[in-house]
């Protein structure tokens, strides 16, 4: 089996063996002399010929051909992958193998960056690998939406997206986006509501009549626009500029894993009739506080979020529970004393300042939801230096066919 990739003929070629995927999705590979080369597109175990380039002090290999393919390599289901679409960078890896490969990737990050030699990483619930995405941010060329090519600004026009939910895929197929340069498409899989946010404006856009169409210029002028989704038995308002997980079954899986990892704490009784406190950091539209404390009077929440749009949604979504929503960055938060902390930061992770604030809450248990393996490793090391020990991690694969994943980790405060 031989795959060919275009590259400059002037750079040296090497034969390397791919060992494992690392954060970012490239395969850590080695030359015969042991020198490490990062190869995009190679799978663990493969022997590949690459064109070597040195970027930012790191040797990277662009694949020329696969000399010994992995027995887990498959022909991508989506034809757009063969056209260069960069949306699914693990499309050549058999779906049944993706969770285990990602679990190895996460363990590697926790070992190298988190300095956890015996990290326990469990594979979480298996989610549908096709037709799941409810949100896509896409480039627009000549009025049609598409995704960028891997390692390029060029755009692949899409006639169909195999991972898009049918309600969203219809907008990709039928949508005409005028002179737009970018479009954010978002649907409520369980409510049927749909929205398109058009950059820079919605002039000349043609979409089915049920779609809420709003221009980025309108949002900048103060217009509010939202759809709703149903997750964990609750209805959530999600505004155009707010973050929400890209699939409702994935959001439910995260909630369930967090609930399981924090079950012993959530089952604790009130202290002298006073509710216990959950600190929901980077709360977004309120997913974890709302789902974990739904129908409970023995707990209260302090939910902190920087995004003004998400804060407005969280106040709406958490109106029926004892929750105070604070509009601030975590770095500026005056953390309350808490019995449990749940933190779901952006891809860059908590960082030193975020760890310092959350540790000051003094919670015996902290649940961290990480959307980047490298950030998970860095944050684990920072939390260890602040008195928290990682005891259990669960991988939730929200993004099949890509190197992206979510990792939920329980940290316990070390006594003394």
Residues 81-132 have pLDDT tens digits of 988 898 999 999 999 999 999 999 999 999 999 999 988 899 999 999 999 9
pLDDT band at 269 (very low <50, low <70, confident <90, very high): confident
Give the H/E segment covering residue 291.
helix 287-292
Digit-coded pLDDT (tens) for 17-59 = 999 999 888 999 998 888 899 999 999 999 999 999 887 778 8
pLDDT over 70 (residue 3): no
Q: Give the residue from 395, 349, 397, 342 showing the smallest Cα distance to 372.
A: 349
- pLDDT at residue number 416: 62
Give the H/E segment covering residue 79.
helix 79-82
- pLDDT at residue number 53: 86
Note whether 373 and 24 are within 8 A (CB). Answer: no
E runs forming strands in 2-101: 13-21, 27-30, 36-40, 47-55, 58-68
Q: Known catalytic residue: 88?
A: no
Note whether 125 and 400 are within 8 A (CB). Answer: no
pLDDT over 50 (residue 6): no
22 φ, ψ (degrees, to nearest 5): -125, 170
Note whether 277 and 299 are within 8 A (CB). Answer: yes
pLDDT band at 11 (very low <50, low <70, confident <90, very high): low
- pLDDT at residue number 10: 55
pLDDT over 70 (residue 237): yes
pLDDT over 70 for what percent of the chain?
97
What count of residues does the chain have? Answer: 416
Digit-coded pLDDT (tens) for 316-362 = 999 999 999 999 999 999 999 999 999 999 999 999 999 999 999 99
Among 71-80, 158-167, 243-252, 269-278, which stretch is predicted with the lowest mean pLDDT? 269-278
- Domain 13-72, CATH number (from 2.40.50.140, 3.50.50.60, 1.10.10.10, 2.30.40.10): 2.40.50.140
Cα separation, 169 vs 122, in Å, equals: 32
Domain 98-128+247-413 part of CATH 3.40.50.920: no
Check 85, 161, 283, 371 and give the catalytic one: 371
Cα separation, 110 vs 414, in Å, equals: 19
Residue 208: which residues within 8 A CB-CB, separation 6 or more? 170, 171, 174, 194
Q: Give the residue from 282, 311, 394, 300 showing the smallest Cα distance to 340.
A: 300
Residue spans of the domains in the chain: they are: 13-72, 98-128+247-413, 135-227
Residue 46: which residues within 8 A CB-CB, separation 6 or more? 17, 18, 27, 66, 67, 68, 69, 70, 73
Cα separation, 98 vs 91, in Å, equals: 10
Cα separation, 177 vs 15, in Å, equals: 45
Digit-coded pLDDT (tens) for 141-173 = 999 999 998 778 899 989 899 999 999 999 999
Mean pLDDT of 273-299: 96
């Amino acid at each position: 089996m031989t795959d060919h990739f275009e590259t400059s003929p002037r750079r040296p070629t090497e034969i390397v063996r791919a060992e494992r995927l690392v954060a970012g999705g490239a395969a850590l590979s080695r030359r015969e002399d042991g020198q490490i080369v990062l190869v995009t597109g190679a799978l663990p175990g493969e022997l590949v010929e690459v064109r070597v380039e040195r970027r930012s002090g790191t040797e990277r290999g662009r694949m020329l051909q696969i000399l010994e393919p992995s027995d887990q390599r498959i022909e991508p289901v989506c034809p757009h992958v063969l056209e260069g679409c960069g949306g699914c960078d693990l499309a050549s890896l058999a779906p049944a193998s993706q969770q285990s490969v990602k679990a190895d990737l996460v363990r590697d990050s926790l070992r190298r960056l988190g300095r956890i030699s015996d990290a326990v990483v469990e594979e979480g619930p298996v989610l549908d690998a096709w037709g799941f995405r409810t949100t896509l941010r896409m480039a627009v060329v000549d009025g049609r939406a598409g995704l960028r090519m891997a390692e390029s600004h060029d755009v692949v026009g899409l006639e169909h997206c195999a991972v898009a939910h049918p309600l969203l895929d219809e907008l990709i197929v039928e949508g005409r986006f005028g002179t737009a340069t970018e479009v954010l498409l978002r649907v409520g899989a369980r409510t049927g509501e749909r929205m398109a946010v058009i950059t820079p404006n919605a002039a000349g856009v043609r979409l089915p009549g049920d779609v809420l169409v709003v221009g980025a210029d309108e949002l900048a002028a103060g217009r509010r626009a939202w759809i709703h989704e149903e997750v964990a038995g609750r209805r959530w308002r999600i505004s155009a500029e707010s973050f929400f997980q890209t699939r409702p079954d994935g959001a439910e899986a995260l909630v369930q894993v967090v609930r399981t990892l924090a079950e012993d704490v959530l089952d604790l009784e009130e202290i002298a009739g006073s509710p216990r406190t959950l600190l929901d950091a980077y709360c977004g539209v309120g997913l974890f506080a709302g789902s974990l404390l739904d129908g409970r009077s023995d707990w209260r929440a302090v939910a902190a979020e920087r995004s003004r749009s998400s804060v407005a949604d969280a106040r709406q979504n958490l109106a029926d529970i004892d929750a105070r929503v604070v509009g601030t960055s975590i770095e500026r938060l005056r953390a309350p004393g808490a019995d449990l902390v749940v933190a779901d930061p952006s891809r860059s992770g908590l960082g030193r300042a975020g760890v310092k604030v959350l540790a000051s809450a003094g919670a015996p248990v902290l649940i961290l939801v990480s959307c980047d393996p490298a950030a998970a490793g860095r944050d684990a090391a920072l939390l260890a230096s602040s008195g928290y020990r990682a005891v259990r991690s669960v991988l939730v694969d929200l993004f099949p066919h890509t190197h992206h994943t979510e990792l939920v980790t329980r940290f316990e405060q070390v006594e003394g």
